[in-house]
Structure 1
Amino acid sequence: MKIAATYVENESGASLARPELFRLLGDCQPGDILLIEQVDRLSRLNATDWERLKDEIRQRRVRVVALDLPTSHMMMTNQGDDFTARMLDALNGMMLDMLAAIARKDYEDRRRRQAQGIVKAKTEGRYKGRPEDTQRNAAIQKMLKAGQSWSSIIAATGASRSTLSRLAKREGEA
């Protein structure tokens, strides 16, 4: 089979905000094959978003073939009758749904375990969070002292309002 194009995306499979994936789907023609490395690279979406993505794929009449899903490989070469094609499509759809659900569960489990590990590390005094950008924060505090507006400081530094609030409070305590 001929590979028409390759698309690379660094967005999370847990998000439907995937510009490159939707560019790929926009470029597809009916009957094209979307070849993916693994189902979890296509989707770690919640059930609602997974249904939306499947509908988009189905409307474009694109077939998904995953390297880790042997039943999908048969769809690439099937020259059989309509019954066989429909059976393979149904089987592949069921397997994609199962693997997408497993990928989502694995994603949620890893996030939950990570949060538990952070809580444990915090109680043991081993977790301090992301280190403070002291150089940037010193510059922000100078801007605050000079009376610059929060909007101009945010525009200049990219800091969030909550960071400015924390630094202003710290400045007020000093």
Structure 2
Amino acid sequence: MSTQHFIRGYLRASTDDQNANRARATLEQFAKDNGARVAAWYTENASGTKTDRSELMRLLTDSHAGDVLLIEQVDRLTRLTKADWDTLKTAIKQAGVRIVSLDLPTSHAAMTVSSNDDFTARMLDAVNAMLLDMLAAIARKDYEDRRRRQAEGIALAKSKGVYRGRPVDQQLRNKVTELKAKGFSIRKTAELAGCAPSTVQRILKEDIGA
């Protein structure tokens, strides 16, 4: 006998420049294919290496035992260090939430397992806990490797005198300059230009120094 669970979808992108809602349709279709629907969405632009993610914390606060935390990939939930991942796992366990990730097939059964089937639920929890730890470690290593390669590339470019930082599209630069000239705040300028506030600040700083 299966049971319906309250599904909470969590969507995360690392920076304001990225679209955190990119995977929403995929998660909706997955839920539909499993005879369910996502009842609540929690979306934020924040680094997976940080523990202070307001929407993730709100999700856990809103949750009740047996709810499902639905994600596209484990790295959307964590790129944390082991110590921070252990802390987040404790919070998830205390909330009584089960993680279902599209890239972890063994977790999918949590969408339909009966709350009365204690043995199956405990077996699934044990298997998924082990695999989640493995994927969390891989996600962290991938983050550290990318950061190391990026730092090496920047160091090499600087040694050759060719490093200029991230290039900014000229059309975007013109739009930002125009919006600021009209008196919009940095945050409003970023919203209207479709970029991050940090990008607006960088463009203005470069224009001042030009």
TM-score, with structure 2 as normaliser: 0.60
Q: Distance in 2 between matches of 1:129 and 1:64?
A: 38
User: Number of residues paired by the alignment?
Assistant: 133
1:116 partner letter: E
| 1:47-71 superposed Cα distances (whole Å, 9 cap, x missing partner) | 1110010000000100000011100
- CA-atom RMSD in angstroms: 1.9
The structural deviation recorded for 1:2 is 3.5
Q: Which has the higher strand share?
A: 2
Structure 2, unaligned stretches of length 5 or more? 1-35, 168-200, 202-210
Structure 1 unaligned blocks of 5 or more: 132-158, 160-174
Query: Counterpart in 2 of 1:142?
Result: none
Tell me the distance in 1 between the aligned counterparts of 2:111 and 2:45: 27
2:68–2:98 CA contact under 8 A, matched in 1? yes
Tell me what 1:19 maps to.
Answer: 54
Structure 1: how far apart are the matches of 2:166 and 2:106?
A: 44
Q: Which residue of 2 aligns with 1:33?
A: 68
Name the structure 2 match of 1:91. 127
Q: CA deviation at 1:130?
A: 6.9
Indicate the percent of aligned positions where both proteins have the same amino acid.
Answer: 65
Q: Does 1:104 align with 2:140?
A: yes
Name the CA distance, whole Å, in 2 between partners of 1:88 and 1:36.
Answer: 17
* CA drift at 1:111: 0.2
- Measured in 1, the distance between the counterparts of 2:101 and 2:153 equals 33
TM-score, structure 1 length as denominator? 0.72
Q: Equivalent residue for 2:161?
A: 125
Alignment match, 1:149: none
Take 2:166 and 2:143, find their aligned partners in 1: how far apart are those partners? 22
Q: Of 40, 53, 68, which aligns to 1:5?
A: 40
Query: Per the alignment, do residues 127 and 92 of structure 1 end up closer, same or farther by CA in structure 2, a change over 3 Å counting?
Result: same
CA drift of 1:83 comes to 2.2
Output one character per residue of 1:81-134: Cα deviation in whole Å (capped at 9) or x when no partner. 322221111001111111011000000000000000001111111114479xxx
Alpha-carbon contact 2:68-2:110 (below 8 Å) kept? no
Q: 1:76 aligns with which of 95, 111, 119?
A: 111
Larger Rg: 1
Deviations 1:8-63 (A, max 9, x none): 11001111110111011111111100001110000000011100100000001000
**Partner SS state of residue 99, structure 1:** helix
> Higher relative contact order by CA 8 Å / sep ≥ 6: 1 or 2?
2
